[in-house]
Structure 1
Amino acid sequence: MNRIQLRPESKGLGMTSQRARDRMVERLREQGIRDERVLNVMRALPRHVFIDEGLASRAYEDTALPIGNAQTISQPWVVARMTEAMIETGMPARVLEIGTGSGYQTAVLAALGLQVFTVERIEELLRSARPRFRSLKLHEQIRSKHDDGNLGWPENGPFDAILLTCAAPALVTPLLAQLGEPGVLVSPVGTDAGKQKLLRVIKADGAISEQDLGPVSFVPLLPGVL
């Protein structure tokens, strides 16, 4: 596992302190997150550096927060649950992430020691996320690309795992094609925010199986780039 080296400004004070992260992790544990690898990474990773300074005092609340461009950083429980679901059947080596956003989910994956290939359609968000990866010394494990997430990153596939941080109306065929075997894909699916579900798709032995992990609410997966 990559050891996160925090700069002084990343350590935080008061509502952004290590104590705040400890409380967040205990809350995640109470909410059913069991994987200690995920909990330890989220205890160490400073979520407040991934959001606007004006919202930093709310960084460790269990809520989604705006990051600009009509996008959000997912609530900690959702990040933990998706990560846990992805690694439950085995730790993947290479992961494709669709929707870099603030970069927080990307950093969680990289801090677990994974090689992450992340695609973001909004260039401004990607420009903000990259310095965060460097400041946390995670950049060598992360490759990022400004492109349409519906296309994935075929030249670097197949991937051991694929994780989407935005909801598609249905499972995206080009992404399933880039999933290796065995492989796992975790994705919110649905068009209406109140009717989305989190799916875990397992590809193994020439077959694909789906598991519904419960209701979620994500921004939509949109075509094109901005």
Structure 2
Amino acid sequence: MAWRSSGTSNAELVENLWRNKLITQPLVKSAFLKVDRAHYAPSPSSAYEDSPQPIGHEATISAPHMHANAVETLLPFLLPKVEPGKQAAMGVASVKGQTGRPRRVLDIGSGSGYLTHVLAELVGDTGVVVGLEHIPALKRLGEGNMAKSAEGRHLLESGRVRFRVGDGRKGWAEPSPAGAQPGVGGPAATNGDNGETTEDNKDEAGGWDAIHVGAAAVELHEELVRQLRSPGRMFIPVDAGNGWEQYIWTVDKDDSGNIRKERLYGVRYVPLTDAPKS
């Protein structure tokens, strides 16, 4: 149904994705409605098409239905702490051990910054989303696109969204912010409430509840798996090794640190590689 989901406005695009069941969670629909894709797409005339579009530097902004699926797959690991039972009432499955800490999300291959913004709408006021790019010009593009809206500027100024340059295959170590941004993306907590880092969890204090990878990796990079918090989930396209097949994988780490990997469906992404030579 992706080919029927394009619209002439952001609201129409999102409504079509909802009608075609490419968005199924009300919280996800609400987040996409808050982020105008025209601020992130390369051309206003095609901003609301449900298709990937080039943004330069051999990169693309993915089709909205792919972004929607990524967000829905990661959703239980994006939401801030809620009262017991409230997640179920919102139609979202709870995750054992996830309460009591600000959400930290890594968006590898953030490109235009569009999905980075959508993710930030879901993690709440205490969460942080880091967009990671290996090309400085794309890092600047994401920041510039986000600054086009008042909400985007607030996310940048508050530290709830940050763009960085680095090799996404190695993940990213983003420290908790200074006292000027209390609580934003803070450390994990084992006691469920106070946000303090203890000896048992200090190694995952800078890790990630959710990792989204927006380019096809040649393997499930173990460094990214290590950086997942317990519990945590990664959404990543991986090349099958034959030069033409790629598949979405999820990697789950449970509250005891056990790893489960699952292959989902075939896709076509640009590769997760070194930055192109200038």
TM range (shorter): 0.7 to 0.9
Indicate how the Cα distance of structure 1 residues 132 and 224 shifts in structure 2: closer, same or farther if over 3 A, else same: closer
Q: How does 1:115-154 map to 2 (within 5 A)?
A: 115-135=128-148, 136-137=152-153, 138-139=155-156, 140=158, 141-154=160-173
Could you tell me which residue of structure 2 aligns to residue 9 of structure 1?
Answer: none
Equivalent position amino acid for 1:101 in 2: G
Task: Look up the SS of the partner of 1:33 in the other structure.
Answer: coil
Figure out how many residues of one structure are paired with residues of the other and give that number: 208
Could you tell me which residue of structure 2 aligns to residue 25 of structure 1?
Answer: 14
Distance 1:124 1:39 in 2: 30
The alpha-carbon deviation at position 161 of structure 1 amounts to 1.1
Distance 1:193 1:151 in 2: 22
Indicate how the Cα distance of structure 1 residues 214 and 49 shifts in structure 2: closer, same or farther if over 3 A, else same: same
Report percent identity of matched pairs: 35
CA contact (8 A) 1:186 1:199 kept: yes
236, 248, 266: which one aligns with 1:215: 266
TM-score, normalised to structure 2, is: 0.69
Structure 1: 4+ residue segments shifted above 4 A: 191-194
Distance 1:95 1:225 in 2: 26
CA contact (8 A) 1:102 1:128 kept: yes
Could you tell me which residue of structure 2 aligns to residue 56 of structure 1?
Answer: 44
**Greater strand share, structure number:** 1
The alpha-carbon deviation at position 22 of structure 1 amounts to 2.1
Indicate how the Cα distance of structure 1 residues 224 and 62 shifts in structure 2: closer, same or farther if over 3 A, else same: closer
Task: Look up the SS of the partner of 2:130 in the other structure.
Answer: strand
Distance 1:119 1:225 in 2: 16
TM-score, normalised to structure 1, is: 0.84
Query: In the alignment, is residue 196 of structure 1 matched against residue 209 of structure 2?
Result: no
C-alpha RMSD of the superposition: 2.2
Distance 1:103 1:79 in 2: 12
Q: How does 1:34-113 map to 2 (within 5 A)?
A: 34-52=24-42, 55-88=43-76, 91=79, 93-112=103-122, 113=124
The alpha-carbon deviation at position 192 of structure 1 amounts to 6.4
Larger deviation: 84-93 or 97-106?
84-93
CA contact (8 A) 1:159 1:180 kept: yes
CA contact (8 A) 1:193 1:218 kept: no
Distance 1:86 1:194 in 2: 26
Equivalent position amino acid for 1:162 in 2: I
The alpha-carbon deviation at position 194 of structure 1 amounts to 4.7
Indicate how the Cα distance of structure 1 residues 225 and 58 shifts in structure 2: closer, same or farther if over 3 A, else same: closer
What are the Cα deviations for residues 102-139 of structure 1, in whole angstroms up to 9, with x where unaligned? 10111111122341022100111111211222332321
Indicate how the Cα distance of structure 1 residues 155 and 94 shifts in structure 2: closer, same or farther if over 3 A, else same: closer
**Greater helix share, structure number:** 1
Distance 2:73 2:218 in 1: 20
Q: How does 1:166-185 map to 2 (within 5 A)?
A: 166-185=215-234
The structure whose Rg is larger is 2
The alpha-carbon deviation at position 89 of structure 1 amounts to 5.7
The alpha-carbon deviation at position 170 of structure 1 amounts to 1.3
